């Protein structure tokens, strides 16, 4: 039996609808959440991401500003901008789009964001609050995954969860969120021996390791929930055949664009073993922007005590 699809796009729509209704109610009271998106340089992917976030703000009724800085901007110049945004009462959330140009000290910039406005959940204060289970702003992708598991009524408490990847953006915060929900959590990484045998113990397997289709059927316990956080381009015909077989939709996309997308999970093999599986695209990706909107609303409520 093929794995059931966890439709992140539909979950994201539900989250955004809930945010829009709440924003409308607060706006009637003169309380409109505001997000500032800072874009430094000309990275095409970053341009798309930031434009998408600003567009979503408009759709849901949030106030937003897209602030662009030159590719040559210095750490001090970006720092000055962030400090100005920290002091503005109409801005509840500050997002500094990564990656920053090489000459800009990313850690310094991220650490300069007011933790109360850190809607990415990357500031050490918010990481610390997450670690000890205190309320705070959570990283968007891991928080979105928890929302999806809950909305599909997938049991977290008492489950065995394995996370492939230990990044500060996904792997580490994901492990803490699952731990606080009473899962037994293992993190695997590049130094983990026989990673497939560890992964096979998982009731919930989260792949965020950044390697195209690494997770094949040998990694997956029959019936497991498999969450694919990866995004990789398939540019070779032999990989298209291996990963998608005669999937005509994928073949049409490949023929048109010269590539198609796949995650860190082999979709053909996973579909035959897993109980639930997120697609790429349309799985975890849409949740990230939805949770950014939810975090901006939450930041406004926390800052204003409402």
Say whether 53 is catalytic. Answer: yes
Q: Please give the helix or strand (H or E) that residue 234 lies within, else none.
A: strand 232-234
Say whether 247 is catalytic. Answer: no
Exactly one of 120, 203, 228, 239 is catalytic; which is it?
Answer: 120
Exactly one of 97, 203, 228, 239 is catalytic; which is it?
Answer: 97
Say whether 97 is catalytic. Answer: yes
Could you please report the per-residue DSSP string of 33-63? Answer: -EEEEEEES--HHHHHHHHHHHHHHHHHT-E
Q: Which of 148, 158, 189, 197 is nearest to 172 (CA)?
A: 189
Q: Which of 11, 44, 26 is nearest to 289 (CA)?
A: 11
Tokens of 109: 């910039």
- Measured distance CA(86)–CA(41) in Å, rounded: 21
Tokens of 193: 């021996």
- Measured distance CA(189)–CA(199) in Å, rounded: 11
- Measured distance CA(125)–CA(136) in Å, rounded: 9
Exactly one of 53, 66, 117, 221 is catalytic; which is it?
Answer: 53
DSSP-derived 3-state class of residue 192: coil
Task: Give catalytic residues, as residue numbers.
Answer: 53, 97, 120
């Amino acid at each position: 039996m093929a794995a059931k699809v966890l439709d992140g796009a539909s979950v994201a729509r539900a989250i955004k609808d809930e945010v829009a209704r709440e924003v409308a109610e607060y706006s009637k009271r003169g309380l409109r959440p505001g997000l500032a998106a800072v874009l430094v340089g000309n990275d095409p992917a970053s341009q798309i991401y930031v434009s998408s976030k600003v567009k979503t703000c408009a759709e849901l009724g949030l106030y937003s500003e897209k602030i662009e800085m030159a590719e040559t901007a210095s750490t001090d110049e970006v720092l000055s901008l962030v400090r100005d945004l920290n002091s503005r009462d109409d801005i509840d959330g500050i997002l500094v789009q990564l990656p920053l140009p090489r000459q800009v000290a990313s850690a310094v910039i991220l650490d300069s964001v007011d933790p109360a406005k850190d809607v990415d959940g990357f500031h050490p204060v918010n990481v610390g609050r997450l670690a000890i289970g205190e309320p705070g702003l959570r990283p968007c992708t891991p928080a979105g995954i928890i929302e999806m598991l809950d909305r599909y009524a997938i049991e977290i408490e008492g489950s065995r969860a394995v996370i492939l990847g230990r990044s500060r953006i996904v792997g580490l915060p994901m492990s803490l969120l699952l731990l606080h929900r009473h899962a037994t959590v293992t993190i695997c990484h590049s130094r983990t021996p026989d990673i497939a045998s560890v992964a096979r113990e998982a009731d919930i397997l989260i792949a965020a390791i950044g390697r195209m289709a690494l997770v094949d059927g040998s990694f997956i316990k029959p019936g497991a929930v498999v969450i694919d956080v990866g995004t990789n381009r398939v540019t070779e015909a032999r990989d298209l055949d291996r990963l998608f077989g005669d999937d005509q939709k994928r073949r049409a996309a490949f023929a048109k664009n010269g590539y198609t997308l796949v995650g860190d999970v082999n979709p053909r093999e996973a579909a035959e073993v897993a109980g639930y599986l997120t697609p790429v695209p349309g799985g975890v990706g849409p949740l990230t922007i939805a949770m950014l909107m939810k975090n901006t609303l939450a930041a406004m409520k926390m800052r204003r005590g409402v």
